[in-house]
Amino acid sequence: MFEYQFYSDCFKALKPEGVLNVQSGSPFYNKDVMKRVRNLLRSLFKYVNPYLACIPTYPSGLWSFTMASNAYQYLTADLSRANGLNTRYFTSDLFHACFVLPGFINDFLNAV
């Protein structure tokens, strides 16, 4: 799953305005996977943004995902429909906060 061919096939299957979201491992245990996924997706998509979510049943509880698209990125996401939802977890502020990565993650993602 963490190979170029898989992501290339996903890219080909998407419509031009499509968005791909994939899991990219634990930022504690799978740093290499997280960086590899981001770099592979960058070779195919214009916008690539890793983000985090707390998943208590996953190792370490903190898990990374990566969103990729040629048409959209999280900063310009239209969340107007979500603002009126009465959810116990999701908010538009939480959505944007997921993309704010801790310093140690930025450090290993940006290391040469």
pTM of the predicted model, to two decimals? Answer: 0.90
109 within some domain: no
Q: What is the pLDDT of residues 49-60, one digit of tens each?
A: 999 999 999 989
| Residue-range definition of the domain harbouring residue 10 | 4-100
The CATH number assigned to the domain holding 92 equals: 3.40.50.150
Q: What is the pLDDT of residues 31-82, one digit of tens each?
A: 999 999 999 999 999 999 999 999 999 989 999 999 999 999 888 888 888 8
Give the residue among 68, 65, 51, 60 at the shortest CA–CA distance from 102: 51
Q: What angle do CA 66, 31, 37 make, to 5 degrees?
A: 35
What's at 107, amino acid-wise? D
> CA neighbours within 13 Å on the CB side: how many for 79?
15
Residue with structure tokens 């245990």?
Answer: 29
105 within some domain: no
Q: 102: pLDDT confidence band, cut at 50, 70 and 90?
A: very high
Structure tokens at 32: 């290499």
